[in-house]
Structure 1
């Protein structure tokens, strides 16, 4: 679907939009509560809009990107610790059978348990401060891993770690929707998600460095959790002072630049000004929307292999005949492959029409081919090559988040849909590792087969989602006329109406 004039600062006649369409920020208002006033003495040019966009990119993306890198680094610490001695009967925690799989799964139970409460609090509370406190909490909980002495203690710790981390990715997705146009969002979602890719590389280097510390006072695996947790706590404190709660509180923008930033995103029609009140009708609509369930089912299926690969990937590599040190280093290329595919697909998703869902199908297919190589080949080089490409599907996460921020209107509805996506993410990550049976180590044939099934079903649901968007747009064009017939005043009224994508007649889905 072609986007019509999505640069909010340009009217249908190509002239700059006057401040009468921008609004001014009320000093007494909460997040996103604005008063639209006729400020006729201010005009917004293309250059002014680009300057504001550059400032938002410069300040916002590094803050979120570094935080997301820490989150994946901390999430992968359990897998890395399997090579640093956490399974050692003398200096580690005695785990047997499927205990490791459950330690991975319980994290996502906690993540899932807090998803819906978080969806409520992220609307009701200042989002920047809420996310910052969550980061401090998760860093502190991560450090307590070093004090765990039993399977039960580790399970409790992992559950609350999942609770603490649950707010971050959905919260970053909502912040991206606040500050960027719909066509700009895939690249910006990728801008902070690249922290995930960097963490795959950096995590291996950190683990390698910790493992080479000679005769530490405490076991290497405990050092890993203490170091990464302490860095996370410090960064959470930093975020508290620099991550804005809304466009109107963005400290790095001048007052007039905040107005421009707000005006730019009005044409998203996704309810960027509808924050501060939880709207229950939008909750019920989210639960009835076919788009929601197709995204959730896709997310569940594609994460069947994700949880298993995150936890068992070092053991799979070691099972190919490599030492612990080499197994750590051989995990580094996965981060490089992710960066390449992230850059390519995010830019294509931004600049090609109707390409987002198709690119997600492509990434998933690449991962499925990689898993086929791991499952079918006997050679060490062939299986290792396949394993490197099994992670490409993860590059769909920023694209799927951009679908939510672009295609779900209404702040409450969008927060609910984001939370439901992460529930699907959690359930997939809980179920997936259970197929990796300890009795099948180090080959894990049943687990690899479940991963192949997950990739196949996820492609199926993506095809259904693409068809749904296509036919729904056609239906709306037939009922209400083409999007090109809708004038800018109507689009502004749609944004301020606090309606949803299902009720705004001018809304068209991005494919």
Structure 2
């Protein structure tokens, strides 16, 4: 422990005793878990749905004459797609610091409300410069959400529960995949003096502002501050997650030593490699999928409708991931590889089938649906395998820097003079998926090696007493500082 921790020791000891005494029966714990689920997961899922819809609105707006009205030429649309992630990248590190230093739930709610306001301003853009600026600030305001949600999941749920809970709030992404195209299609059918693409931004921006205000009041900052739990239930909520050994009780202090630990951790850099390469395809297809479908020979409005079914496959993949994570050990990284393999097959179909087979090429787009479900599993690896609140926030920021970088690179591979087939973009996507699988295989090997090394050196982790790992949690140790820590695969 740090030297300045000594004066606080009596208060910490009292808190440790209070949490240790808060042992619940299995029935009580299930009741409290259900209470947490119903008050947190739907709230985060709906927010994540809005985030995905707001992010891909630009792609749908291209089928509603945005490019023509703003007179976008050459690579200007690609830069409008990429600059969103420059904003995301810029704010990732400051956001990780704010997430530790300030009430997390209120910070996330305020961020959502501001991003809704920025989305609303898109409707008043009149040129490439205006749209570029609006997209930059949209990326800044959205940067807090996914890392913040992963921190909240790590605070409220046991390691074994985290993959399914992250998949459930990520379900909002899949639902948005289904409904966003339908919403854009419906708005495109509205007969109004306001351009359809402007209506799209006005409606979604207004809804997001309202929901951000709601989040400020309903999203808790931590288990000890959860408004829907009484004092006894808060102690149970803390008690049940202490076995994670990942520092759920050290929020409020940013530790430079933990940040440095994150920057020298092999698992962090393997996750960064995966995130970078996997999001090159993500950035490309989130902006160009409707244009690619239009290039298969479908009308602009029908292209919006044909974007929806891939979300259904994504929903099925999420259900499969939840069930696998619950019943199959060491399945997280394997399921990530499997869903990316689906996408790899889809890209191969799009690259190899003749232009005349437009439905076969559309199946390739359809098979891309599941690959994004690897993202919440990667976040669950951080919450389960990274100890220390500051280190967790830092690794989350590193992952999202890589996420942004990949999404910046992706649209730039889709060259305007190659529209609508984009052969260079599709080849880049193929390489991105292959490299993502490579990094995940290395990560699996690293976790297995490290767990066996620790077992050999320290003995089986389950022999450690509960009081020991409660004390470790209060000492704010990282995963590399705790001998009993074992990585979840």
TM-score by length of 1: 0.92
Give the stretch that moved more between structures: 383-392 or 316-325: 383-392
**Contact 1:143/1:229 (<8 A) preserved:** yes
Q: State the 1:347 CA deviation.
A: 2.3
1:384 equivalent to 2:344? Answer no
Match of 1:200 among 148, 172, 177: 177
Match of 1:364 among 317, 320, 340: 340
Match of 2:405 in 1: 427
For residues 157-204 of structure 1, the C-alpha deviation after alignment (integer angstroms, 9 at most, x for no partner) is: 110110000000000000000000000000100111000011111111
Match of 2:292 in 1: 316
Match of 1:462 in 2: 440
**Contact 1:303/1:429 (<8 A) preserved:** yes
1:111 equivalent to 2:94? Answer no
1:164 equivalent to 2:149? Answer no
**Contact 1:364/1:393 (<8 A) preserved:** yes
Match of 1:37 among 14, 17, 20: 17
Please give the alpha-carbon distance, in whole angstroms, between the structure 1 residues aligned to 2:21 and 2:430.
60
1:408 equivalent to 2:386? Answer yes
Match of 2:205 in 1: 229
Q: State the 1:326 CA deviation.
A: 1.0
Q: What's the RMSD between the two structures over aligned residues?
A: 1.6
Q: State the 1:248 CA deviation.
A: 1.1
**Contact 2:100/2:251 (<8 A) preserved:** yes
Match of 1:176 among 153, 156, 164: 153
Match of 1:397 in 2: 375
Match of 1:101 in 2: 78
Larger helix share, 1 or 2: 2
Match of 1:507 in 2: 485
Match of 1:81 in 2: 61
Match of 1:496 in 2: 474
Relative distance call for 1:40 and 1:448 in structure 2 (3 A) is closer
Match of 1:441 in 2: 419
Match of 1:278 among 254, 259, 284: 254
SS in structure 1 of the partner of residue 478 of structure 2: coil
TM-score by length of 2: 0.96
SS in structure 2 of the partner of residue 502 of structure 1: helix
- Pairs aligned (count): 478
Please give the alpha-carbon distance, in whole angstroms, between the structure 1 residues aligned to 2:36 and 2:20.
25
Please give the alpha-carbon distance, in whole angstroms, between the structure 2 residues aligned to 1:34 and 1:227.
51
Q: State the 1:484 CA deviation.
A: 2.6
Please give the alpha-carbon distance, in whole angstroms, between the structure 1 residues aligned to 2:377 and 2:439.
15
Gaps (5+ residues) in structure 2?
A: 1-7
For residues 427-467 of structure 1, the C-alpha deviation after alignment (integer angstroms, 9 at most, x for no partner) is: 00000111111111111000000000000011110000000
**Contact 1:85/1:221 (<8 A) preserved:** yes
Q: State the 1:44 CA deviation.
A: 1.3
For residues 278-330 of structure 1, the C-alpha deviation after alignment (integer angstroms, 9 at most, x for no partner) is: 00001111000000000001000011111110000000000000001211111
Relative distance call for 1:38 and 1:322 in structure 2 (3 A) is closer
Please give the alpha-carbon distance, in whole angstroms, between the structure 2 residues aligned to 1:318 and 1:39.
58
SS in structure 1 of the partner of residue 481 of structure 2: coil
Please give the alpha-carbon distance, in whole angstroms, between the structure 2 residues aligned to 1:262 and 1:304.
38
1:64 equivalent to 2:40? Answer no
For residues 216-272 of structure 1, the C-alpha deviation after alignment (integer angstroms, 9 at most, x for no partner) is: 121000000000000000000111111111111111112111111110001000000
